[in-house]
Each structure stands twice: as structure tokens, then as C-alpha cells.
């Protein structure tokens, strides 16, 4: 194996089996590509057995069997895997040549997406050899060819801020979730390039059309991280990666062809899927983040953002007969306290952060 100078952050919250699939596929892909990784698994105070599942997986106490619905079958790695564990101040553990090194970090509280990511980024940044920081969702899986494409692109040494590739759905098969994101400067509404198109026949997007890289599969250069700093944590969920991209200065966003992952969209936090609307939890934080973003970067357009909020809530009521979801949209966008359906999923300390 050769050192790619790549660190990977995977944030977990009540997502043990999915995180195991993600980590196993990632390390199997890295082994196939012949690269060594440093991986920071950050648990955001899971209330279930996520941490135990990760420990058992790394130790080999729970033999790995890939789920039948994956578009490929990761080859199980020899176990046990080298695993260090502790709080976010865990001392960096030296990596032996040709080895992966995995750290299981405990955030102590649900810090939200960006908060968990920042724990992992801060840990990895203490290794001076890390030049690239990859944020990967726990409900995603990485095929071997993704690491081959990423290694080739990073090996060019061309400067960049944030890099992404194609995110395809696990189910339905052969369907794109996103090829890079767009954001409407008037309403703050984000969009997915090539959403719903066939993965097998759709060409890559025009890089100039990309406004941000989706946080489910996003690589940040160390130069960008040191210049801009970590992700803002006050969004809690959603829009953190949009905000990060807007602060990149002259460093470009890059689309890496062939850097494809598969994503079980919406499984972690109740985001919308092709067959259902989002949960109140997801809607509250998405529209809260949308208006925070709009007020931060395009404050003159806030009235358009609020008008969109009311129209969207009305559509939820009329078309979907979803009063709880409509209340969540309005509460989030207008900065009101989380509704009961949202508070039920937040612990007391997480509610203070949110």
C-alpha cells in the first residue's frame, strides 16, 4: 500500500449496521486501490448499540456479511482491525507503513452533522501528513473504483477547495441522487444536479454549474481547511456544506469523474426520498438552515425566503395533508422553538445546541 495522505470522517448516530457497511466498503475499496487511510469514526452520542456494533466489527467478533441490496459486495477484510478509542482529545496514534488506522471518537453529545464532522477533522488535522479530508455519510457505501478515481485526481496535486463526485441511490438501482448541488440565491432553496437520471448513461455535469458539494461525499483540501476553518455548527443539520463552499475564496470546486458512492438517502435523519416527504425533524432543520444561510450571505433576499416558506407549508397542508410537517417548516424558517415531534428526537444538551 502507498500513503494517499487521506483522512476520512464518518459521523454516526444510531446507525451501527449502516456505519459498519460504510466502513467495511471503504477499507475494502482502499485495499483494492492499494492506499492506506486514516479513519475517524465519530459517534454523536448514539442512544442505541452503535458503538458496540463498531467495536465488534473491528474486533472480528461479528463476522461481516454485506446486505443483499448493495449494488456490489465488499470483500470482508481480515480482522481484527487496529482501533483506538477515546474522546475528541485522543492523542494521534502513529500509523505503521501500509496499515489503516481507525479511531473511534466519542463526541459526548449530539453535536449535529457539522459538530461531529469538526471533531473528526480536528483529530485528523493533527497529523501533518494528512493533505485531504474526506467526509463520508455512514449510510453510504464505497465501491473499489471510487478510490481508484479519487487517488488519480488527488495525485495530480492541482489545488482545490472541495471535491466531490456522483452520489447514486442504493435503491432504486441505476439512479443518480446528486452530481453536485445548486443554490437559489433568492430563496435559498438547493437543488441536485442530475437528480433521478440514469447513473449508467448520464454524463458528468458541467463543473461551472456546481455551487456546492454534498456533505455525504465531500473531500476538503488541507489548504482550504486551514484557510477557511471548520464547518459552522450553528446550522446543526443541513446547509453546512453550502455555507462552507460559499466561503472558499479563489479555490475551486472540483467534480471527480468516477468518484461514485452509493447512498441510502434519508435513512439517517429522515430526509425526503423519492417515495415520501421528509419528516418534521428533517424539515425543521432544513428550513431553519435555509433561512440562516440566506440571512448570512444574501440578507436582502430574506423576504423571498420567507414567502417561499409560507407557500411550501401551504403545499404540505393542501397536497399532502401533513400539518406536523407544515408546522416544522414554519417553525424552522422563522427561528421558533422546535415542535414536539422534533424535540422528541433531541436530547436536552443537543436541544441547547440546536
Q: Which residues contact 318 (CB under 8 A, 6 or more apart)?
A: none
Note whether 57 and 119 are same-domain residues.
Answer: yes
- Quote the CA–CA distance of 33 and 145 in Å, as a whole number: 8
Q: Are 329 and 276 in contact (CB under 8 A)?
A: no
The three cell numbers of residue 77 are 477484510
Note whether 91 and 186 are same-domain residues.
Answer: yes
**Does residue 337 lie in a domain region?**
yes
Note whether 158 and 237 are same-domain residues.
Answer: yes
Share of the chain above pLDDT 90, in %: 79
> Residue 206's pLDDT is what?
96
Using DSSP, state whether 25 is helix, strand or coil: helix
Average pLDDT over residues 306-331: 96
272, pLDDT greater than 80: no
pLDDT tens-digit profile of 83-129? 999 888 877 666 554 466 899 999 999 898 999 999 999 999 999 99
Q: Which of 287, 271, 288 is nearest to 279 (CA)?
A: 271
Note whether 33 and 117 are same-domain residues.
Answer: yes
Note whether 183 and 310 are same-domain residues.
Answer: no
> Residue 216's pLDDT is what?
95
Q: Kindly tell me the sign of the dihedral angle through the C-alpha atoms of 300, 304, 310, 312.
A: negative
Among residues 202, 229, 263, the one where a domain terminates is 263
Among residues 263, 297, 324, the one where a domain terminates is 263
**Does residue 273 lie in a domain region?**
no
> Residue 348's pLDDT is what?
59
CA distances from 172 to 40, 72, 264 (A): 30, 14, 10
Share of the chain above pLDDT 70, in %: 91
Note whether 55 and 146 are same-domain residues.
Answer: yes
285, pLDDT greater than 60: yes
CATH at 41: 3.90.550.60
> Domain residues for 336?
280-353
> Residue 79's pLDDT is what?
93
Note whether 24 and 92 are same-domain residues.
Answer: yes
**Does residue 22 lie in a domain region?**
yes
Mean pLDDT of the chain: 91
Number of helices (H), then strands (E), belonging to the chain: the values are 11, 12
Among residues 231, 263, 295, the one where a domain terminates is 263
Note whether 230 and 329 are same-domain residues.
Answer: no
CA distances from 316 to 13, 148, 201, 291 (A): 28, 43, 34, 18
pLDDT tens-digit profile of 36-71? 899 999 999 999 999 999 999 999 999 999 999 999
**Does residue 272 lie in a domain region?**
no
Note whether 319 and 215 are same-domain residues.
Answer: no
Note whether 186 and 304 are same-domain residues.
Answer: no
Give the number of domains in the chain. Answer: 2
**Does residue 270 lie in a domain region?**
no
Angle of CA points 39, 43, 48, to nearest 5°: 135
Q: What residues pair up with 8 in beta bridges, in sequence order?
A: 39, 134
pLDDT band at 351 (very low <50, low <70, confident <90, very high): low
> Residue 97's pLDDT is what?
46
Average pLDDT over residues 161-166: 98
Average pLDDT over residues 132-157: 96
Note whether 214 and 345 are same-domain residues.
Answer: no
Note whether 242 and 341 are same-domain residues.
Answer: no
**Does residue 274 lie in a domain region?**
no
**Does residue 218 lie in a domain region?**
yes
**Does residue 105 lie in a domain region?**
yes
The three cell numbers of residue 152 are 488519480
Q: Kindly tell me the sign of the dihedral angle through the C-alpha atoms of 337, 339, 342, 347.
A: positive
Amino acid at each position: 500500500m502507498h500513503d494517499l495522505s487521506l483522512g476520512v470522517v464518518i459521523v454516526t448516530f444510531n446507525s451501527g449496521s449502516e456505519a459498519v457497511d460504510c466502513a467495511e466498503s471503504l477499507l475494502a475499496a482502499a485495499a483494492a486501490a492499494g492506499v492506506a487511510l486514516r479513519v475517524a469514526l465519530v459517534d454523536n452520542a448514539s442512544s442505541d448499540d452503535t458503538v458496540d456494533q463498531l467495536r465488534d466489527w473491528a474486533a472480528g467478533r461479528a463476522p461481516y456479511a454485506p446486505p443483499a441490496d448493495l449494488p456490489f459486495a465488499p470483500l470482508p477484510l481480515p480482522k481484527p482491525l487496529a482501533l483506538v478509542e477515546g474522546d475528541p482529545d485522543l492523542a494521534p496514534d502513529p500509523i505503521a507503513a501500509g496499515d489503516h488506522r481507525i479511531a473511534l471518537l466519542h463526541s459526548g453529545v449530539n453535536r449535529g452533522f457539522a459538530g461531529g464532522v469538526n471533531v473528526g477533522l480536528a483529530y485528523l488535522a493533527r497529523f501533518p501528513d494528512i493533505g485531504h479530508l474526506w467526509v463520508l455519510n455512514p449510510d453510504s457505501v464505497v465501491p473499489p473504483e471510487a478510490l481508484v478515481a479519487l487517488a488519480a485526481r488527488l495525485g495530480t496535486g492541482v489545488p482545490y477547495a472541495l471535491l466531490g463526485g456522483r452520489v447514486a441511490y442504493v435503491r432504486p438501482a441505476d439512479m443518480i441522487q446528486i452530481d453536485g448541488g445548486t443554490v437559489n440565491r433568492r430563496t435559498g432553496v438547493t437543488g441536485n444536479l442530475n437528480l433521478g437520471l440514469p447513473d449508467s448513461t448520464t454524463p458528468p455535469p458541467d463543473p461551472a454549474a456546481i455551487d456546492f458539494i454534498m456533505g455525504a461525499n465531500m473531500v476538503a483540501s488541507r489548504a482550504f481547511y486551514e484557510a477557511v476553518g471548520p464547518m459552522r455548527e450553528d446550522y446543526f443539520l443541513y446547509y453546512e456544506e453550502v455555507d462552507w463552499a460559499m466561503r472558499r475564496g479563489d479555490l475551486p470546486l472540483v467534480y471527480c469523474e468516477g468518484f461514485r458512492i452509493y447512498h441510502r438517502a434519508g435513512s439517517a435523519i429522515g430526509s425526503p426520498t423519492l417515495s415520501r416527504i421528509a419528516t418534521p425533524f428533517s424539515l425543521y432543520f432544513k428550513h431553519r438552515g435555509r433561512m440562516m444561510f440566506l440571512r448570512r450571505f444574501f440578507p436582502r433576499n430574506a423576504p423571498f425566503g420567507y414567502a417561499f416558506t409560507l407557500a411550501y407549508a401551504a403545499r404540505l397542508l393542501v397536497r399532502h395533508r401533513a400539518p406536523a410537517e407544515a408546522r416544522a417548516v414554519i417553525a424552522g424558517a422563522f427561528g421558533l422553538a422546535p415542535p414536539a415531534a422534533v424535540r422528541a428526537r433531541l436530547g436536552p444538551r443537543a436541544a441547547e445546541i440546536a
